[in-house]
């Protein structure tokens, strides 16, 4: 850590800062120049980063050198992490192809979509039972009934399933039905939720918040990891900018950026990022070409009647065409798309 | 609501859209121009806004006319709402002057700060017992011990108190100690928390999320109101932009903007918005001049040792000087700052 | 165009708005609902869009239906435009591979870089003679000497060249040396420059401004087209957001977005977008996968001594490795990379 | 300047960096910690800031300590600068009250508005003769005819005038008619324009670009100052963010921020910042309360017929009411609003 003092700092100020640093058991290195005095600090920087050194009178700037996250960092774990969800690998060259409707609306509908996306090559089924809707007057999800449907359809088709959890009180319930938790963008800094999820041993897909930097995202991941749950997958889903012709702005540079900073897999959700079916295929292609570990796409068999986010869903035919292209691209990129084992069986009512 | 069809839409497309609208019990008005066909819809627009009309093939654009919130709107409640928290009025010309440390660190410290800010003119005491920290390695708050201290100090000084609640599971506990809930920026779209808070009858201070539009904020307020809790106060605390010399960018235009759209009071937090003590006084002045209903400022007697957000705290002397200026300004603006009744008594250990 | 009146508008207000519309020779269509009155306008909307209808008392909202640009729109020109710069095609499946140093620093250096990028597959040479630098104390470019060097090296290697023009007074000079103008991001709304460039018949590469929406970019393009110069190529180079780990945020969704709205080619510049050599290759791959018409990359043989933007330059070896990957990707995408004709000759001093 | 090396840097890397620093005539100070090596550099940092040290292999981060601008900084000129434009002082407690229509449309109209705003207390008249319009199909201004009208009206009313210059080729012409140049937001980084304006000795009002940081703005100011023109006034007019209910987001924190960093006056333009007459008065009040040196407001006697930006203009009556409030506020703030001398004479045609 480097501490820059204001111009013309008095010897008292310098002495006070040195004293504070030594009181923390760390060693300061003083460099006095003509216009500024600089203090380098050697020692456990993590200790120092939580101290309000910036608040000391006479301090102009505090420059941290080390990353504020540990367990998520590539320095801590140099190899790519690879996780397995019911036989489907994610990371280390294996692409997660997550697809399904935004919300679970009923068993027949989910089964219909699931069969189609599985045929097209999807290897994880998604569907929301608890929905974070901007308006209190919108459909809020089927709750436990939805979870049962998701589990049943997943089992019939031998597909692992992922669903969102929004509230620490839902974790126990959701954990009985899902293979992977999803934490939504709006909850990326719901720290109590992160801590509770961190105590489970179920893989987590965590979406980047709309105004989260790469560092913020990795700090939220650190909350989960530090509780003992090591299976965390990141998901870019667009950030909020001034551009208003798309729902959000997809920031694909986070993919190679995270690959440098962390060992964890990162996937991309072009559905929420663009909100526009006409842009989703191109952005899914771009995502895979950027080196990500999977793509998350919303598919609905009748978007104009969907109870949630219909306008951004692909129909199954569009998804199938896109998967054909993604497969060709994955081959050029040297990536594998794991296939769900077994034969689908017809879906019995749950 | 207005639905604009794509150029050269076939009669089948037009007929399909009309059919969908009529199926919802609404009346469409068709206008056919040379380059576009436009359909106006008369009827309960709220019903329509949750329908995915944008997903109908042939629809180019859907333009909502009515606001998506009702209970929060000024059309619903034309007069300014004025709320009272233990005798201190907020709104309708009464300014809430909320001050205190970021986190509650101990009783002696809180009492010291509280006496000073009360003397300076603050009329509500703040302090965090549950802290949403970006890093899992930072101080997370004293929990119930902190709540007890806050209640005790508030009682000694006859000051109403406000404190943050982060998790639906904490609501019952916090409600035993606080006079007003605070919902933090990171939880502005934690919809389960909003719903549960909406079931209580304790006033709520809700902070604008870092990437929330005015409309998003009012929709989150609608979640609370629609559960029956009508005492909601909004708080601007800065949004995230590209400008990196301040912690966030204070968007004061939200004050007159909200005054036009809603009947609810809105206050301003220049501490989190700027993150810089050298800018807080000027922004507090600007806030009151913009017509807001109060100012929320963090004060600590020794910022360089604060356990949370020390670098952005004012010291009590700075706060007192600022309050002198704010009082003069409030007078010119025709605003009143209610004063806490009674005499402070010395603080017995809780 | 749709005009929405405020609730409870008086008949006088309605009459006044209708009168204003008819005075412009257009036909209004009135729809009166319970809570709002809506007026649709049929006729030449371009005429109306420049009128300040929003300023009429009683008008709540004005909703334009047609795009404000014409010549740039796909409705005006349904087929993809394909341009040719000295035998190198851009658009319609042909990728422009533009490479070279940020600034022209000397003939030997430029020749060295140019030979290397040409060997790797670049088909257009870039280099700045007039440099828009944030600081007045930074290197500002070699001016005409730089242009001569660029022309000479381009001729020796049979490569078309592109260089930036910043000031209307430079156009005549620059046009004597270059095959394509570049308009930089900071000048995207320098309207006098756009108009003057529009009067030439030299192809133009126009970069998206840091805070320009897709619509803003197309309006700037319209300035050039409306002066008669029809050969305009767009370039995405990142927008400004809150994310601070990259120089800008590359918004690749603009590629399919522009493809829907316009017939013009669009290329991508991952160098300025990321500012980080470790991210450039992945973003170049993503760009081509998104369907763009070319990639613009800065290459320098000794970045640590570059006079401009060294920290974001690739070295020639990195560029060659990237081009190998881009070629394989282009093949999968069904795209062609035109090759410069002829044999390089050694560079005589200019 | 501080240079942080990557973890586990070899002695060769360290030696190479030291060598580069010494070759520039500067003195490096080495601190080797367990996880990082840090090099502090003492000497003329300006020299170093233009060097691409970040591009050296092995360098992780370069942290500048000194500000990149000199002449604009408060360290260079500790006292507030106060400028005088035809007897009207700006800065040092004197508020510039700039008002007038967006565009000059004709002499009678400008005279009418000018008389009204002068009566209300405005002390500088604005009006655009060259207009930077987003659309090439919008009114582009009257050019020299407009300048003549502005000069004539200003002279009749003894008001100094300010008008925008967009192109270096217009400077000589505009300088014959105006008392102050305006550089618009879109030209804030039109460096050739800045340099040429810097060679004149006419005061300059420079508007912050829509995506310019405080530092960017001060660097653009430095371009003008470094050419010898020392009379530069800054203007905040809103930045581009995700919030779409206002035209831009007014960032008032720039006012105290600039006051700390620079000696130059800064004024605020709430018209362009909000684009909404209902918000302008509150934001003008907030601006003055934040400590700025003036307010720039667009006024038109018939906004619905204005040729440019009508929807954001105040009418003269609204302006007069606002000025009454601003005067009371200015008094509390201890600020003076200079008054134009002499009696208005009726306007002879120019």
Instruction: With a cut of 90, say whether residue C342 has pLDDT above it.
Output: no
Under 8 Å between Cβ of D267 and D232: no
B-chain residue closest to C242, CA distance: B242
Task: Work out the mean pLDDT of chain B and round it to a whole number.
Answer: 93
Q: Which residues contact B132 (CB under 8 A, 6 or more apart)?
A: A189, A191, B164, B166, B184, B186, B187
Pair (A235, A93) in one structural domain: yes
Predicted confidence band at D348 (pLDDT cuts at 50, 70, 90)? low
C-chain residue closest to B243, CA distance: C242
Q: Which residues contact B152 (CB under 8 A, 6 or more apart)?
A: B107, B347, B348, B350
Pair (B209, B327) in one structural domain: yes
Q: In chain A, at which residue ranges do the beta strands (DSSP E only) sit?
A: 2-5, 27-32, 37-42, 59-63, 83-85, 88-90, 96-100, 124-126, 161-164, 180-183, 204-207, 232-236, 266-268, 294-298
Instruction: With a cut of 90, say whether residue C320 has pLDDT above it.
Output: yes
CB spacing of B55 vs A219 below 8 angstroms: no
pLDDT, tens only, A291-341: 999 999 999 999 988 888 888 999 999 999 999 999 999 999 999 999 998
Instruction: With a cut of 80, say whether residue C60 has pLDDT above it.
Output: yes
* Distance, CA of B160 to chain centre: 18
Q: D84 to chain A, minimum CA–CA distance in Å?
A: 32
Least confident span in A74-88, D9-23, D171-185: D9-23
* Res A349: pLDDT: 52
C-chain residue closest to D195, CA distance: C136
Angle between the N-to-C axes of helices D316-333 and D280-289, in degrees from 0 to 180, rounded to the nearest 10: 20
Predicted confidence band at D141 (pLDDT cuts at 50, 70, 90)? very high
Among B241, B257, B274, the residue with its CB nearest the CB of D245 is B257
Interface test with C, best of A238, A288, A290 (most C CBs within 10 A): A290
CB spacing of B31 vs C38 below 8 angstroms: no
Instruction: With a cut of 80, say whether residue D32 has pLDDT above it.
Output: no
What is the SS3 string spanning chain C?
CEEEECCCCCHHHHHHHHHHHHHCCCEEEEEECCCCEEEEEECCHHHHHCCCHHHCCCEEEEECCCCCCCCCECCCCCCCCCEEECCEEEECCECEEEEECCECCCHHHHHHHHHHHHHHCCCEEECECCCCCCCCCCCCCCCHHHHHHHHHHHHHHCCCEEEECCCHHHHHHHHCCCCEEEECHHHCCCHHHHHHHHHCCCCEEEECCCCCCHHHHHHHHHHHHCCCCCCEEEEECCECCCCCCCCCECCCCHHHHHHHHECCCEEECHHHHHCCCCCHHHHHHHHHHCCCCEEEEEECCCHHHCCCCHHHCECHHHHHHHHHHHHHHHHHHCCECCCCCCCCCCCCCC
pLDDT, tens only, B241-277: 999 999 999 999 999 999 999 999 999 999 999 999 9
Predicted confidence band at A43 (pLDDT cuts at 50, 70, 90)? low
What is the percent of chain C with per-residue pLDDT over 90, rounded to a whole number? 73
* Res C20: pLDDT: 85
CB spacing of C245 vs A273 below 8 angstroms: no
pLDDT, tens only, C12-26: 888 998 888 888 888
pLDDT, tens only, C137-152: 888 999 999 999 999 9
State mean pLDDT over A181-208.
Answer: 98
* Res C31: pLDDT: 78
Pair (B168, B309) in one structural domain: yes
pLDDT, tens only, B179-231: 999 999 999 999 999 999 999 999 999 999 999 999 999 999 999 999 999 99
For residue A151, tell me if it sits in a domain.
Answer: yes
- Cβ within 8 Å of D, C 25-54: 46, 49-50, 52-54
Least confident span in A31-35, B77-81, C123-127, D298-302: A31-35
Using a CB-CB distance cutoff of 8 angstroms, which residues of chain B are in contact with residue C31?
Answer: 29, 31, 40, 42
Least confident span in B75-89, B212-226, D45-59: D45-59
What is the percent of chain D with per-residue pLDDT over 70, rounded to a whole number? 96
- How do strand B2-5 and strand B59-63 relate by DSSP bridges? antiparallel
Closest CA relative to residue C20, chosen from B90, D302, A95:
D302
Interface test with A, best of B189, B218, B228 (most A CBs within 10 A): B189
**C-alpha pair distances (Å), C314 with each of A61, A267, C6, C306, C321:** 32, 27, 57, 11, 11
pLDDT, tens only, A237-283: 999 999 999 999 999 999 999 999 999 999 999 999 999 999 999 99
**Inter-chain Cβ pairs, chain B and chain C, closer than 8 A:** 47
Pair (B165, B225) in one structural domain: yes
**Integer Cα distance of A129 and A173 in angstroms:** 11
Instruction: With a cut of 80, say whether residue D179 has pLDDT above it.
Output: yes
Q: Which residues contact B97 (CB under 8 A, 6 or more apart)?
A: B121, B122, B123, B124, B294, B295, B323, B326, B337
C-chain residue closest to D312, CA distance: C55
Q: Answer whether C133 touches D (CB < 8 Å).
A: yes
pLDDT, tens only, D57-81: 888 888 887 788 999 999 899 999 9
CB spacing of D257 vs B242 below 8 angstroms: no
Pair (A207, A165) in one structural domain: yes
Q: Answer whether B343 touches A (CB < 8 Å).
A: no
The residue with greater pLDDT, B254 or C59, is B254
Q: A16 to chain D, minimum CA–CA distance in Å?
A: 21
Pair (C87, C135) in one structural domain: yes
**Inter-chain Cβ pairs, chain B and chain D, closer than 8 A:** 115
Under 8 Å between Cβ of C180 and C161: yes
Using a CB-CB distance cutoff of 8 angstroms, which residues of chain D are in contact with residue B247?
Answer: none
Using a CB-CB distance cutoff of 8 angstroms, which residues of chain B are in contact with residue C42?
Answer: 31, 33-34
Q: How many CB atoms lie within 10 A of CB A342?
A: 10
Q: Which residues of C331-345 are buried (b: 16+ CB within 10 A; e: fewer)?
A: ebbebebbebeeebe
Domain boundary among B32, B63, B94: B63
Using a CB-CB distance cutoff of 8 angstroms, which residues of chain A are in contact with residue D75?
Answer: 7
Pair (A101, A213) in one structural domain: yes
Under 8 Å between Cβ of C266 and C235: yes
* Res C13: pLDDT: 87
Partners of D206 in the beta sheet?
A: D183, D234
CB spacing of C40 vs B35 below 8 angstroms: no
Q: Exposed, middle or buried by CB within 10 Å (0-12, 13-18, 19+), for C58?
A: middle
Closest CA relative to residue A173, chosen from A148, A153, A192:
A148
The residue with greater pLDDT, D47 or C316, is C316
Interface test with C, best of A286, A325, A329, A332 (most C CBs within 10 A): A286
Interface test with B, best of C21, C27, C35 (most B CBs within 10 A): C35
Least confident span in A204-208, B7-11, B128-132, D130-134: B7-11
Instruction: With a cut of 90, say whether residue C309 has pLDDT above it.
Output: no
Edge-to-edge strands of the sheet including D37-42? D27-32, D37-42, D2-5, D59-63
* Distance, CA of A288 to chain centre: 16
Residue B298 belongs to domain with CATH number? 3.20.20.70
Instruction: With a cut of 60, say whether residue A350 has pLDDT above it.
Output: no
CB spacing of A52 vs B303 below 8 angstroms: yes
Under 8 Å between Cβ of B104 and B150: yes
pLDDT, tens only, C238-264: 999 999 999 999 999 999 999 999 999
Q: Enter the DSSP assignment of D58.
A: T
Under 8 Å between Cβ of B168 and B196: yes
* Distance, CA of D36 to chain centre: 41
Q: Answer whether D315 touches C (CB < 8 Å).
A: no
Least confident span in A115-129, A218-232, B57-71, B238-252: B57-71
Q: A26 to chain B, minimum CA–CA distance in Å?
A: 17
pLDDT, tens only, B130-170: 999 988 988 899 999 999 999 999 999 999 999 999 999 99
Q: A271 to chain B, minimum CA–CA distance in Å?
A: 13
Pair (A104, A250) in one structural domain: yes
Q: Answer whether B55 touches D (CB < 8 Å).
A: no
Q: How many CB atoms lie within 10 A of CB A201?
A: 10
Q: Enter the DSSP assignment of A95.
A: P
Pair (A153, A57) in one structural domain: no
Unique residue bearing structure tokens 């009749």: D156
Partners of D4 in the beta sheet?
A: D38, D61
The residue with greater pLDDT, B12 or A242, is A242
**Integer Cα distance of D252 and B249 in angstroms:** 9
Under 8 Å between Cβ of A105 and A112: no
Pair (A323, A203) in one structural domain: yes
Angle between the N-to-C axes of helices A214-225 and A191-199, in degrees from 0 to 180, rounded to the nearest 10: 40
Task: Work out the mean pLDDT of chain D and round it to a whole number.
Answer: 93
Among D53, D68, D189, the residue with its CB nearest the CB of C186 is D189
**Integer Cα distance of A223 and B166 in angstroms:** 15
State mean pLDDT over C183-202.
Answer: 97
Q: Neighbours of A (≥3 Cβ pairs closer than 8 A)?
A: B, C, D
Predicted confidence band at A208 (pLDDT cuts at 50, 70, 90)? very high
For residue C73, tell me if it sits in a domain.
Answer: no
Edge-to-edge strands of the sheet including B59-63? B27-32, B37-42, B2-5, B59-63
**Integer Cα distance of C245 and C240 in angstroms:** 12
Predicted confidence band at C159 (pLDDT cuts at 50, 70, 90)? very high
Pair (C122, C262) in one structural domain: yes
Pair (C11, C114) in one structural domain: no
Among A136, A169, A311, the residue with its CB nearest the CB of B223 is A136
Least confident span in A278-287, B6-15, B89-98: B6-15
Give chain D's domain count.
2
Angle between the N-to-C axes of helices D316-333 and B316-333, in degrees from 0 to 180, rounded to the nearest 10: 140
Q: Answer whether D23 touches C (CB < 8 Å).
A: no
For residue B15, tell me if it sits in a domain.
Answer: yes
For residue C159, tell me if it sits in a domain.
Answer: yes
Q: Is the dihedral of CA C218, C222, C223, C228 positive or negative?
A: positive
Using a CB-CB distance cutoff of 8 angstroms, which residues of chain A are in contact with residue C257?
Answer: 245-246, 279
Residue A26 belongs to domain with CATH number? 3.30.70.1140
* Res C349: pLDDT: 52
**Integer Cα distance of D59 and D239 in angstroms:** 33
Closest CA relative to residue D37, chosen from D45, D47, D29, D25:
D29
| Alpha helices (H) in A69-227, listed in sequence order | 107-120, 144-156, 171-175, 191-199, 214-225
Phi (first) and psi of residue C44, to 5 degrees: -75, 95
**Integer Cα distance of A238 and A247 in angstroms:** 8
Q: Which residues contact D324 (CB under 8 A, 6 or more apart)?
A: none
Instruction: With a cut of 90, say whether residue D167 has pLDDT above it.
Output: yes
Q: D65 to chain B, minimum CA–CA distance in Å?
A: 14
Task: Work out the mean pLDDT of chain C and round it to a whole number.
Answer: 93
For residue C70, tell me if it sits in a domain.
Answer: no
| Alpha helices (H) in chain B, listed in sequence order | 11-23, 45-49, 107-120, 144-156, 171-175, 191-199, 214-225, 254-261, 270-274, 280-289, 316-333
Q: Which residues contact D90 (CB under 8 A, 6 or more apart)?
A: D82, D83, D84, D96, D233, D265, D267, D293, D294
Partners of D266 in the beta sheet?
A: D234
Q: Indicate the SS3 state at residue D62.
A: strand
For residue B125, tell me if it sits in a domain.
Answer: yes
Using a CB-CB distance cutoff of 8 angstroms, which residues of chain D are in contact with residue B250?
Answer: 251-253
For residue D78, tell me if it sits in a domain.
Answer: no
Least confident span in B9-18, C270-279, D212-221: B9-18
**Integer Cα distance of C110 and C100 in angstroms:** 8
Among A211, A250, A257, the residue with its CB nearest the CB of C279 is A257
Q: Indicate the SS3 state at residue D213.
A: coil
* Res A6: pLDDT: 86
What is the SS3 string spanning B76-106?
CCCCCCCEEECCEEEECCECEEEEECCECCC
Task: Work out the mean pLDDT of chain A and round it to a whole number.
Answer: 93
Q: At C42, list the tokens.
A: 């049929």
Under 8 Å between Cβ of C290 and C256: yes
Q: Neighbours of B (≥3 Cβ pairs closer than 8 A)?
A: A, C, D
Span between the terminal Cα atoms of chain A, in Å: 58
Structural domain of D45? 2-63
For residue C344, tell me if it sits in a domain.
Answer: no
Predicted confidence band at D172 (pLDDT cuts at 50, 70, 90)? very high
Using a CB-CB distance cutoff of 8 angstroms, which residues of chain B are in contact with residue C63?
Answer: 2, 63
Q: C349 to chain A, minimum CA–CA distance in Å?
A: 41
Q: How many CB atoms lie within 10 A of CB C165?
A: 26
């Amino acid at each position: 850590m480097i501490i820059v003092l204001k111009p013309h700092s008095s010897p008292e100020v310098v002495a006070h800062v040195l004293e504070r640093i030594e009181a923390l058991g760390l060693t300061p290195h003083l460099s006095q120049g003509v216009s500024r005095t600089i203090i380098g600090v050697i020692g456990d920087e993590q200790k120092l980063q939580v101290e309000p050194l910036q608040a000391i009178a006479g301090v102009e700037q505090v420059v941290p050198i080390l990353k504020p996250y540990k367990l998520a960092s590539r320095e801590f774990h140099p190899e790519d992490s690879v996780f397995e969800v019911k036989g489907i690998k994610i990371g280390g060259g294996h692409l997660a192809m997550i697809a399904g409707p935004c919300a679970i609306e009923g068993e027949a509908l989910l089964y219909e979509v699931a069969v189609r996306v599985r045929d097209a090559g999807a290897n994880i089924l998604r569907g929301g039972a608890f929905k974070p809707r901007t308006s209190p007057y919108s459909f809020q999800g089927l709750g436990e009934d939805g979870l049962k449907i998701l589990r049943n359809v997943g089992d019939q088709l031998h597909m692992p399933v992922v669903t969102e959890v929004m509230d620490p009180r839902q974790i126990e319930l959701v954990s009985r039905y899902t293979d992977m938790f999803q934490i939504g963008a709006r909850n990326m800094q719901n720290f109590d939720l992160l801590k509770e999820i961190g105590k489970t041993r179920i893989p987590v897909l965590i979406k980047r918040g709309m105004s989260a930097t790469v560092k913020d995202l990795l700090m939220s991941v650190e909350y989960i990891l530090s509780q003992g749950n090591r299976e965390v997958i990141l998901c870019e889903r667009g950030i909020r900018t001034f551009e208003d012709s798309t729902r959000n702005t997809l920031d694909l540079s986070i993919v190679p950026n995270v690959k440098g900073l962390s060992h964890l897999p990162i996937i991309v959700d072009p559905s929420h990022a663009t909100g526009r079916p006409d842009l989703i295929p191109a952005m899914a292609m771009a995502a895979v070409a950027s080196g990500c570990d999977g793509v998350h796409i919303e598919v609905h068999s009748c978007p104009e009647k969907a109870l949630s986010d219909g306008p951004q869903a692909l129909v199954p035919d569009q998804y199938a065409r896109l998967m054909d292209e993604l497969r060709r691209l994955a081959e050029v990129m040297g990536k594998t798309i794991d296939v769900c084992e077994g034969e689908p069986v017809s879906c019995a009512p749950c």
